[in-house]
Amino acid sequence: MERDKSELEALVKYYEEQLRLAKHRQFGVSSEKTECPEQLDLFDEAENTADPDLPEPKLEEITYKRRKRAGKREDDLSGLPVETVEHSLPQEERVCPECGGAMHVMGHDCRRELKVIPAKVVVVEHKQDVYSCRDCEKNNDHVPIVKSPMPEPVIKGSLASASAVAHIMTQKYVMYSPLYRQEQAWEREGVVLSRQTMANWVIKCAFDWLALIYIRMVACLLAHDILHADETTVQVLKEPGRKPQTKSYMWLYRTSGETKTPIVLYEYQQTRHHEHPKAFLKKFKGYLLTDGLHQYHLLDVTNVGCWAHVRRKFDDALKVMEENQRPGSRAQKGQDFCSQLFALERSYTNLTPDERYERRFRESKPLADAFFAWVSDAKGKVLPQSTLGKALTYACEQSPYLMNVYLDGRLEISNNRAERSIKPFVMGRKNWLFCNTPNGATASSIVYSIIETAKENGLKPFEYLEFLFESLPNTTTGQIDSLLPWGKAVPDCCRMTLKQSY
């Protein structure tokens, strides 16, 4: 009887924890930012360091000249074209009101405004001259015909232009505007363009043209020896032999922060089976930074775990506790360990990989060893199914992969880089909700790959897509590399001029 009672009490406590965690996720602050215990003292620095007995320092007169720095607003507008409107008095009005003499321009007052020129739709007609020989027309049976050169269209026999397809893709995959909203926007411009037509354009251009860039980027990605990976769900309605509600997956692979030519690639697959990343990474040998998903541990790579996921689980354990129980608790202790590790990582930011390796081995690794010793001891003192028990179990199970970060100074302590790269897809999914067909899901993975890689390399998505759709139909296979986001053929008009990024 007592055993049944204790089991019920433990079950009730577990459900209370889950309820508090669910409420916090829905209504609470989502930030996981924490500070190291020693950093919290900064708020009391005046009180902690004050000494009334110290004599006042002698005053020194310091003179210096300060150069006025251009304001942030001027910095933000520096890349925009400037249109000057001059406001002048007519010649006959330039008369001094005092003496009647002629007045001259002594200076200018200047006011700056942002002018918005809305997009407009125009029809472009390509007229190709066709030439023939009049002498041959009169005297010969065969009349040669010569046509003037004209660039190939992005889709033959279609109204689609490079700019139109680039605009539709940018609106959907950068601005998260579904095709039905774009259909309404086209109607307001006086153009009847159905969402089915736009979907056909996106899929055809993705497979015919962007796939050429995608294939080359895959080869470039696999040549690296450090990669990040992540995955998220996607709903595809018309998958053969599957119900519309069945979850499919969008896998993500990207380069680390050390490379000068970052690459972000998405791949659509029906399941979460480890065979998918195994096939994609078949030619890859090196370090793979991931979360704790078991499928990644079945690959022929060196797995590097994510300390941010460990900290997140201790953060969840804190959230389900009453506030007065948090200070000094095991959940707080686990979070403090993780926060100290991340604080050390921030101090290594500007170091070379070799210097970071040495500092980690000297400062960070002993702290990680102490953490896992504490985890091993604390694990047997809490309920395994509690939020804290799950955090401790997760840390213990992932310890071999988490400690791999100390193998190379180029490795990052978390997989947040991959999570940031998959977020644009997650934001888009909240708006367009699902893909209609597997072809549409694959096309989306290709387009997202091109756009996100372009953004990572400092390119503007619309301008780069337009450039590709103008160039690829008129480019040979041997010239593809020059069109990659870091390629020499990419014009300056595709590059971001502002300091902000997408």
62-66, 123-127, 224-228: least confidently modelled range: 62-66
Residue 442 pLDDT > 90, yes or no? yes
Mean pLDDT (whole number) for 398-420: 97
Number of residues that make up the chain: 502
Residue 200 pLDDT > 70, yes or no? yes
Q: Under 8 Å CB-to-CB from 32, ≥6 apart: which residues?
A: 308, 311, 312, 315
Q: Distance between CA 182 and CA 155 in Å, rounded?
A: 20
Q: Distance between CA 374 and CA 368 in Å, rounded?
A: 10
Say what the pLDDT of residue 230 is.
Answer: 97
Tokens representing 341 are: 């590790």
Tokens representing 192 are: 């009847």
Residue extents of the structural domains in the chain:
162-220+436-494, 225-419
Say what the pLDDT of residue 120 is.
Answer: 85
Q: Distance between CA 220 and CA 75 in Å, rounded?
A: 35
C-alpha distances in Å from residue 110, one per residue of 87, 403, 405: 10, 60, 56
Contact by Cβ (8 Å): 230, 418: yes
pLDDT band for position 41 (cuts 50, 70, 90) = very low
8-state DSSP, 270 = S
Contact by Cβ (8 Å): 414, 357: no
Tokens representing 254 are: 């990207």
Residue 3 pLDDT > 70, yes or no? no
Tokens representing 180 are: 């039905």
Contact by Cβ (8 Å): 272, 257: no
- What string of DSSP letters covers 188-221? HTT----HHHHHHHHHHHIIIIIHHHHHHHHHHH
Question: Over the stretch 137-187, which tens digit does the pLDDT of each residue have?
Answer: 888 888 889 999 999 999 999 999 999 999 999 999 999 999 999 999 999
Tell how strand 264-269 and strand 226-235 pair up: unpaired
Residue 70 pLDDT > 60, yes or no? no
> Which neighbouring-strand residues pair with 236?
435
Strands (E), 421-468: none
Say what the pLDDT of residue 136 is.
Answer: 87
Contact by Cβ (8 Å): 303, 290: yes
